Each structure stands twice: as structure tokens, then as C-alpha cells.
A and B are shown apart, each in its own frame.
Chain A
Amino acid sequence: MTTKTKAKANARRTLALDILNHGALALVALLFLFPFFWMVSNAVRSNAEVLAIPVRILPAVFEWDNFAKAWTTLPFGRFFLNSVIISVSVTVITVLVSCLSGYAFARLKFPGRDKLLMAYLATLMVPGIMLIIPLFLIVNKLGMINTFQGVILPVAFGTFGSFLLRQFFLSIPLELEEAARIDGASRLRILISIIIPLSMPAIGLLSLFTFIAQWNNFLWPLIVMTGADNATLPVGLTLFQTQQTTAWNYIMAGATLSMIPGVILAVVLQKLIYNSISLNAGMGGR
């Protein structure tokens, strides 16, 4: 064999291995996606078919209107709205509060600044589940059980946002801000007109992760929202679990609804997510 044909054969072999490699992982990915498929497949069949033994992979009869029924009768529409109200409110409050405090930590001189920042960082160590009981008691004391403010306010003042935005604000050249001061801008004006527009990547990231965390939050709304009408989607999903005749098909339809925003965000914002996680990877606990 000449070296040329040898090289050709080699190239063909690597190509074949490459295709095999991609194909194998694609298979793994498909298996990984199976629960999503199973959820949707069971959402669009009758409840009797869900419980049928042996199981059927695809429904015999597709009942697409199960989504509409779950949306109105169970009422996942109401739960969806509650989830939106809570997640959006927490996100908006978190971003506003974090912008203000992050700016103060990044750019304003005041006595005890570094100590306060360390205290903020220290609170990040405390796991959320530990605070559930005292938070519940505080909300109870404030008479906010089963109210939106009761579920929103206690989780809207996390210190992570202050810290994240502080770090990002520090990377904005100080001279921009000094130029703005000389142009006659107040601190609030600088924050609104200069710092925030230039920090959209970080603010976007904070909004995304805050929104998703609240959208997926379960224990806290479960405890505070005692009325069935005020349940969020995750809480709503569990409400019907204990009934004697569990309407599994509707629950699967509700589960599908609850996953839609996260799936869309994960696909659309994959670049932002990857970049933010690779930032973590770069710092690697250092």
C-alpha cells in the first residue's frame, strides 16, 4: 500500500469511529429523554389507559384535549398564573434590591463596608431548609399566611444577587462613572443610565436563575399557600396525588405545563447558561 491510500484508509476509519461515537451518545441522550416522552405520552391518553397493565408505549387514542381540561378543571391554569405571579415578583424584587445594594458594595465608600459584605457572604452558607421554620413563624406573625406577599417577600432578599452584581459592577471601568459624575449625574442616575445598561449579562443571569429557582420551588409555597386556590404549579401537582382516583393523565398534563418555561429558557438561553456555568468552572472553588 502506498502511504497515500494508507492515510485514506486511516481517515475513513476515524470517520467511522466518529459516527459511531456520535450515534452512541445520541442513543444515551434519547434514553435520557424518555421520562419527558413518557410524561407527554401519558398526558394524552385516558386515565384507564395510564393504569392499564401491561403498559402501552403510545396511547391507543390520543386525547389532546386533556391539556385544556387539566388547564381549566383541575385548575392548572390558576396554578400556572400563581406560579408566574410569584416567580416574576421575586425576580423583579431581587434584581432591584440587588442592583442597589450591589452598587453600594461595589462603588460607594461607607464605614464597615467590607465587614458587611463578609456578613452577606456568610449567609450564603446557610441552607434554605434550615430557615423554613422560623420564616414560617415570621410570616404567620405578620398575618401573611396564604397570601402572595407571604410567599414572595421572604425569598426575595437573598444575598447572592448583591454579591453577583457587585462583582460585575466592579468590572465596569471606574472612569465611566467619574465621567458621568462630572457630566452632572447623581448616583441613582449613574446606576440607571450607565451601570445597569452595561450589566445586562449579569442582570439577565440573575433574573434567569432567580426565576427558575422560584418556578421550581416547592417546599416554601407548600407551607405558606395553604389554600388550594393559591397553590403554585408544583404544589398543585401534588394536591391531586392523594385523591382516591388519581387523574394521572391530567397530572401528567400539568407536569408538562410546569416544565414548558424551563425547557424553553434552557434551549433559548443555552449560551448564557453555558457561559455562566463556565465562569464557575473557571473559578473552580478557588
Chain B
Amino acid sequence: MAVVERIAATRAVTRKRKNRLDRGEGRTAFFFLLPSLIGVTLFLVVPIIASVVLSFTNWKLLGQPQFVGFANYIKLFTADPQFWPVVRNTLFFTFEYLVLNIIISLGLAVWISSLKMGQRWFRVIFFLPTFTPGIAVAIVWMLIFAPGGFFDFVTGSLAIHLPNLLTDQKLAMQAVIIVSLWAGVGYNTVLFNAALDMVPASYMEAARIDGASAWDRFWKIRLPLISPTLFFGTVMTAITSLQVFDQIYVMTRGGPGSATATLGYSIFQKGFQNFQMGYASSIAWVMFAMIMALTAFQFWLQRKWVHYDN
């Protein structure tokens, strides 16, 4: 009996000691994660929660925040005369920019991949604006679009009668889109070009032997094969374009009138010019909802056009 107990006791002791190795690993993990956890908590988790809470208050930076329930959201959707135009501007920008960006970058990618020499240099050229500050880009373009500037000079020389882009209610957004395209097509061009490079040559050769024309080879072989990458590029571009801010801040400040005011610009304006922190936060959540909705829509749509080989 005593012997049995002693054995049981030693077993218990060894069992307890057993996990020391694993426990040491857990402790190491804790210390390795600590800097990241502190940073993520303070600058990511707390702000996310704070943003939700703020959107239900009327805080104006000075004074005490007051809980106002859904008042901000109700005001946005029903009372604020600026809100719906801003949503419309944002969607207009996103749609036109997205479509043109994908068409242009895909076109450039296909064109570059048809070259026998110098592919990488063309890629670098179109990629350059991606690595330069958007603000600097916008300022340079602002000079180009300035009244009497280079753009007016070109249209004038070609006898095209256009009002100045930046000061025209209808055309200002087009100017913003041109600048955004110039700055933004490079990344997708390289992305799609890389995807085209990865299509095994044997597929194209097989299609050629099967008698497919160059036209068919593009639409029926290459495009479906890179469709997952096209989808990825489309989703990422849509997410960034809904947040557009830099170009508008520099070139138009949302004007003329509110012709180019977008959600991103509204958040800045309400938050940091009017200091309506609560109201601006509610706009941020509307933007987040739109990003999620658009992404979900694209994922739904992808079943119709994206081909995965597995």
C-alpha cells in the first residue's frame, strides 16, 4: 500500500515537472509578442473600439462628449445636405477610377509582355509614381491643370474648347481621376504583368496547335488564367479608391462647390477642421460599411468570372 502511494506520488511530481519545457516556450512567446501586443492594443484595438464609441457621441474635442445614440447616423442619412452628394462623389470616383485603372493596367501589362526586350524597364517606368509621394504627384498635376497651364495650352493648341478642369463643376472630378490613374496604374500593371509571365508557355503553344487565333488565345486562355490575379487587383484597388484623400486635398479641397468632396475628405473636414470628432467617426463607419459591402459584392461576383485551377 505504502509502495503504491509512493509511486503515485512520484508520478504526480514528475507530471508536474513535465511541462516545464512547454511552459518555458510560452513564456518566451509572451516576451517576444509583448512589444507588438502593446502597440497593437494601444494603436489599433483601442482606436477601433474608440471609433465605434465616438460615433455615438457628439464630442467636439473641447468639452465633454455626450452620448447621443444613433443621432449622428440619423443626421447623416436624413438631415445633412452634404452627405448624399459626398457618397455619390465617392462612388462615382471609385467606379470610374476602378474600371479605367483595370483596363489601362491590363492593357499595359499585356503590351509589355508582348515585348522581346526591355520589359523590366517599361515596368519600372510605369511603376515609378507608385513609389513617389501622392502629394507631390498631385501638386505637379495641379500645375499642369492650372488655368493657363500646360493642359489648357494643349487643348487650346488642338482647338478643343474645354473649360479649365479644376474650376469646372463637372470636370474637376475627371482631373482627380486622371491624376489618380497616373499615380495608380503602375502597381496593377506590374501585378498583371507578373501574372501573365507566370502563365506556362505550354498552354499558349497547345492553343496555337489547336488553331486558336491570337484574339482567342488572349480572351479564352490568358485572361481566364490570370483572372484570380485580376480579381485580387480589383478588390485591392477598390478598397484604396474608396478612401481617396491626398489628391483631393491638394487639388480641389473638395471643390469647386462640393463637386469633388469624398468620404475621405469629409472625415478630414468634419474631424480636423470643424473638430466634430463624433460626427466624423460616424462617417468613417459608413465608409467602412461601404468597403465591406463592395468587397463582399466583388467576392459574390467573382464566381461568375474568376477561374481557379484547383
Contacts and interface: CB of A to CB of B under 8 A. Distances in A.
Given A108-B29, A111-B26, A281-B191, A22 B117 contact: yes
A286 B187 CA distance: 19
A129 B264 contact: yes
Given A137-B50, A237-B135, A219 B245 contact: yes
Nearest to B49: A134
B136 A259 contact: yes
Interface string B237-267: 0010011011001100000000000001001
Interface string A85-115: 0000000000011101101100011110100
Given A109-B29, A284-B231, A237 B43 contact: no
Nearest to B39: A157
A101 B128 contact: no
Contacts of A267: 124
24 contacts: A22-B115, A22-B117, A38-B144, A97-B39, A104-B32, A109-B22, A131-B44, A132-B284, A134-B46, A134-B50, A135-B47, A157-B38, A212-B131, A219-B249, A233-B136, A237-B139, A238-B139, A259-B133, A262-B133, A266-B131, A273-B127, A277-B187, A284-B228, A285-B232
A259 B135 CA distance: 10
Interface stretch (B4-12, B166-174, B193-201): B193-201
B269 interface: no
Which residue of B42, B44, B48, B131 has the most chain A CB atoms within 10 A of its CB atom? B131
B69 interface: no
Contact of B271 (A50, A109, A133, A281): A133
Interface string A257-282: 01100110111001101100110111
A36 B136 CA distance: 10
A97 to B, nearest CB: 5
A238 B135 CA distance: 8
A26 to B, nearest CB: 8
Interface of A: 18, 21-22, 25, 28-29, 32-33, 35-36, 38-39, 42, 50-51, 53-55, 96-98, 100-101, 103-104, 108-111, 113, 116, 120, 123, 126-138, 153-157, 159, 162, 187, 212, 215-216, 218-219, 223, 233-235, 237-238, 241, 248, 251-252, 254-255, 258-259, 262-263, 265-267, 270-271, 273-274, 277-278, 280-286
Interface stretch (B79-87, B145-153, B202-210, B212-220): B145-153
A254 B33 CA distance: 40
A133 B284 contact: yes
Nearest to A267: B124
A223 to B, nearest CB: 6
Contacts of A156: 39
A interface: dominant SS: helix
A108 B245 CA distance: 41
Closest 7 pairs between A and B when the two form their complex, measured CB to CB: A157-B39, A284-B228, A278-B194, A285-B232, A262-B131, A101-B36, A134-B47
A258 B250 CA distance: 16
B100 interface: no
B232 A283 contact: yes
Contact of B190 (A28, A159, A255, A274): A274
A282 B32 contact: no
Nearest to A36: B128
Contact of A25 (B111, B197, B228): B111
Given A25-B112, A187-B28, A286-B308, A262 B132 contact: yes
Contact of B122 (A29, A130, A238, A251): A29
Interface string B113-137: 0111110101111111011111111
A103 B125 contact: no
B51 interface: yes
Contacts of A283: 232
Given A55-B149, A127-B291, A131-B51, A138 B36 contact: no
Nearest to B135: A234
Contact of A218 (B134, B141, B280): B134
Given A138-B47, A212-B131, A274-B190, A234 B136 contact: yes
A238 B134 CA distance: 12
A33 B125 contact: yes
A162 B36 contact: yes
A222 B127 CA distance: 26
A274 B124 CA distance: 9
Nearest to B140: A39
A285 B231 contact: yes
Given A36-B128, A38-B140, A255-B140, A110 B25 contact: yes
A252 B140 contact: yes
A265 B127 CA distance: 11
B281 interface: yes
A216 B132 contact: yes
Contact of A131 (B30, B48, B122, B149): B48
B124 to A, nearest CB: 5
B229 interface: yes
A258 B47 contact: no
A29 B125 contact: yes
Contacts of A28: 108
Contacts of B280: 133
B44 A159 contact: yes
A33 B123 CA distance: 13
Contacts of B115: 21-22, 25
Contact of B198 (A50, A137, A212, A282): A282
Contact of B32 (A18, A39, A100, A223): A100
